[in-house]
Each structure stands twice: as C-alpha cells, then as structure tokens.
Amino acid sequence: MQQILQEALSQSEATGEIDTFYQDVIEGLTSEFKRLPSKFFYDQQGDRLFQQIMACDQYYLTRCEAEILKNQREQICETIQNGDTSFEIIELGAGDGTKTVHILDSLSLQGKSFRYLPIDISGNILNELTDNLLAQNPELDIQPLEGEYFQMLDQAVSLSGLHKVVLFLGSNIGNMPPADALQFCSRIRQSIMPGDMVLIGFDLVKDLI
C-alpha cells in the first residue's frame, strides 16, 4: 500500500500536477504516524462539530482563554492599540470568534479606530462570525478573508500599511509538532513589519495522570 502511494506521489511530482489535497493525503498516510491536516475537517458540519467540542466540559481551552481575554481585555487592548492611529487586527483561523469578541467590544467601546480581518479556511464559519459580530455591532469595520492562513495573511497585509496585530488563538499552535510551530511563527514574522504584534494562545504541557 505504502509503495503504491509513494509511487503515485513521485509520479504526480514528476508531472507537476499536484493537487494540494492529494499531496497532503498521500504524505499524511505514507508517514510513520498517519495524519491528515485538520484544515480538511472544517466545513459546515466540521464547524458544528468543533463548536460541540468547545462546549464539552473536558475542553477547557476555550473557557480558559475566554476568561483570560475577558478579564485582561483592558490590559490587552492597552498593549495592542496604536495610540489614536487606526490599526488592523488579523486573526488566523478565527472560527466563530467567541473569544475575540471581548477584545473587539472593548476597543469599540473605547472608540478606537480599527479594522478586523478574520481569516479562515471555512467560508461557513466566516459568514457566521461576520453576521454575529455585525448583529451586535453594526459599526464594526470587518473584512473576512476565506482561505489558507498565509495566502490570506499576505493578502491582508497588502491591503494597507496600517499597524498590524495578528491573533492566533485556541492553542491551535499546540496541534503542531515543534518544528512546524517554529516554522509557522517564522512565517508570520516574514509577513509583518517591525513594530507589528502577534498574540498567540499557548496551553501548557500537562502531567499525564
């Protein structure tokens, strides 16, 4: 099986006709530890499943991060705001934005001038997020971007020269092997300018019980 998959991969590499999905599936299923990228999980049904996961008692990440963002919102907003100058908040894998809303609301209440650019591979969740945020705050300047993290980050960055704050929440980075996480952070660094900021949610490694 492995040999067949590897031959198929070499063949498609040779012809240069590699579809990303096909390549990801072949690579993931021929590796020692079988895996598939989680980006294929998220469509309307996958989004719903993830929302159900977030609501589980065992999934403490969402509650803990929401508590931090809610309780520390003033300090966070103080740190990320750009004086009285407009700035942009770009969120990678924004999902339904249930936690980010604390920061957005706080900045809006303070009358700060900012634009929110949520990036997500799922158009379904971006529509839900946009509708919910605009229903709560019709004045919010929001520009959803549907697609891959870095393709959309580069697009977002090219839209203006404003100060950027990039969010990557949910301890999503903890799903990556350390080398991939390092590469991910370096890639963000390549896209932004000195003085821009990045806020990443990290979970701690737990003792195994």
Ligand X SMILES: C[S@@+](CC[C@H](N)C(=O)[O-])C[C@H]1O[C@@H](n2cnc3c(N)ncnc32)[C@H](O)[C@@H]1O
82 binds ligand X (CB under 6 A): no
| Beta carbon of residue 131, minimum distance to ligand X (angstroms, whole number) | 15
3-state secondary structure the chain: CHHHHHHHHHHHHHHCCCCHHHHHHHHHHHCCCCCCCHHHHCCHHHHHHHHHHHCCCCCHHHHHHHHHHHHCHHHHHHHHCCCCCCEEEEEECCCCCCCHHHHHHHHHHCCCCEEEEEEECCHHHHHHHHHHHHHHCCCCCECCEECCHHHHHHHHHHHCCCEEEEEECCCHHHHCCHHHHHHHHHHHHHHCCCCCEEEECCCCCCCCC
Identified binder of ligand X from the candidate list 82, 87, 93, 166, rule CB under 6 A? 93
Q: How far is the CB of 8 from ligand X (least distance, A)?
A: 23
Asked if 172 touches ligand X (CB under 6 A), the answer is yes
Stretch that binds ligand X, among 9-17, 38-46, 70-78, 181-189 (CB under 6 A): 38-46
By beta-carbon proximity to ligand X, the closer residue of 86 and 142 is 142
Q: How many residues bind ligand X (CB under 6 A)?
A: 18
**Nearest distance from C-beta of residue 93 to ligand X, angstroms:** 2
**Using CB under 6 A as the criterion, what x/- string covers residues 123-162 for binding ligand X?**
--x----------------------xx-------------
Examine residue 118 and tell whether it contacts ligand X (CB under 6 A): no
CB of 72 to ligand X, least distance (A): 16
How many residues does the structure list for the chain? 209
Distance of alpha carbon 208 from alpha carbon 195, whole angstroms: 39
With CB under 6 A as the contact rule, the residue among 26, 80, 117, 121 that binds ligand X is 121
**Minimum gap (Å) between residue 17 Cβ and ligand X:** 22
Residues 6+ apart with CB under 8 A from 55: none
Q: Given the rule CB under 6 A, which residues bind ligand X?
A: 38-39, 42, 50, 62, 93-95, 119-122, 125, 148-149, 169-170, 172
